[in-house]
């Protein structure tokens, strides 16, 4: 879409929620993207702002802005989805750490979006659409990483494989290890953070925070084990993080909760007062992933760190080769 469109709600859509209407008409629009569009007033019903759960009425006019996508939705006819360009193919190939007949395992760069959104025309989900033209079936994401988090991410080549791995990732049979550089020094140096989280909405994006009394119905239990590997005085520390649950922003919110936000984290205070020479980028990397392969055997993949974290390690005197999980 290159211009604002207006759609009239039909009789059989009377009473339908706005987010459901978008799922039917624009399946490529994720819930997070729609939330951003409604929060900023780009999507409106009539002349008024609405929330995603707004109930539509017959005859309502829905304002739909230009959507930032360069590919058709996942369920579009195969012939309508363009194959990967040479540039896109090279980008995807540069990320591959492991490939077999069932899965890809990638090292996602920091700053590269998993899904599309405003001003995001190139993203991992889009690459998978184009790859599906060649493979005959679109590969599917098994789990996700934040845009600014780098590291290991798993892609299933077929829906049946995605279903099998999805159940596995929902259990505790997948071992995830993240490396992060945080402000200050955790006290104690290692431990368990068992703090339920709740989403806090704001004009500049969603954040997660510790739930409070009376919010039990909306909270999500979140557990993270952490271990301090090295310290740079009292200014910064290199930590290993092992999440036991997979909540949105879990590691970022948990490290902020114990008073040591991740360096460069602009949602949780890690971007304030950075030392000279330290990049103002999120210092969180999905370092290692271990899980049973659907056909048997064990997958154990480690992703090299991004350049900005390597530079920070050098600046702070951390030795990345001293520890490997």
Catalytic machinery residues:
146
* DSSP designation for 13: G
- CA distances 130 to 88, 177, 312, Å, are 9, 30, 36
Alpha helices in 194-273 (DSSP H): 250-257
Domains annotated on the chain, with CATH: 5-64 (3.10.290.10), 78-170 (3.30.2350.10), 175-316 (3.30.2350.10)
* pTM score: 0.76
Q: For the chain, how big is the Rg over CA atoms in Å?
A: 21
Residue-by-residue pLDDT tens, the chain, 325 positions: 457 889 999 887 888 899 888 877 776 677 778 888 999 999 999 988 999 999 999 999 999 998 765 455 444 454 456 788 899 999 999 999 999 999 999 999 999 998 766 566 688 988 998 898 888 888 999 998 999 999 999 999 998 899 889 888 888 789 999 999 999 999 999 999 999 999 887 666 778 999 988 887 888 899 999 999 999 999 999 999 999 998 889 999 999 999 999 999 999 999 998 888 899 999 999 999 999 999 999 999 999 999 999 999 999 999 988 776 5
């Amino acid at each position: 879409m290159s211009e604002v469109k207006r759609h009239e709600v039909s009789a059989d859509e009377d009473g339908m929620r706005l987010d459901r209407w978008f799922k039917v008409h624009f399946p490529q629009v994720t819930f997070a993207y729609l939330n951003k569009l409604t929060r900023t007033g780009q999507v409106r019903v009539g002349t008024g702002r609405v929330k995603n759960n707004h109930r539509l009425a017959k005859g309502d006019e829905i304002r739909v802005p230009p959507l930032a996508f360069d590919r058709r939705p996942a369920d579009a006819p195969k012939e309508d989805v363009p194959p990967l360009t040479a540039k896109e193919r090279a980008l995807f190939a540069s990320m591959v750490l492991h490939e077999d007949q069932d899965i890809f395992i990638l090292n996602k760069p920091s700053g590269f979006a998993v899904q599309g959104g405003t001003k995001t025309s190139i993203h991992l989900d889009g690459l998978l659409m184009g790859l599906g033209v060649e493979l005959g079936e679109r590969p599917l994401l098994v789990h996700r990483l934040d845009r600014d988090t780098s590291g290991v991410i798993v892609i299933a080549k077929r829906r049946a494989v995605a279903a099998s791995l999805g159940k596995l990732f929902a259990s505790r049979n997948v071992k995830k290890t993240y490396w992060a550089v945080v402000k200050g020094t955790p006290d104690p140096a290692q431990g368990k953070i068992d703090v339920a989280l709740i989403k806090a909405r704001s004009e500049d994006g969603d954040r997660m925070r510790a739930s409070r009394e009376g919010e039990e119905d909306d909270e999500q239990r979140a557990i993270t084990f952490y271990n301090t590997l090295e310290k740079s005085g009292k200014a910064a520390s290199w930590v290993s993080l092992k999440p036991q649950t997979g909540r949105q922003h879990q590691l970022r919110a948990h490290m902020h909760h114990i008073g040591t936000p991740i360096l460069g984290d602009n949602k949780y205070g890690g971007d304030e007062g950075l030392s000279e020479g330290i990049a103002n980028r999120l210092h969180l990397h999905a370092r290692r992933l271990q899980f049973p392969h659907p056909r048997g055997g064990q997958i154990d993949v480690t992703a090299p760190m991004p350049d900005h974290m390597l530079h920070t390690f050098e600046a702070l005197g951390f030795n990345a080769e001293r520890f490997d999980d």
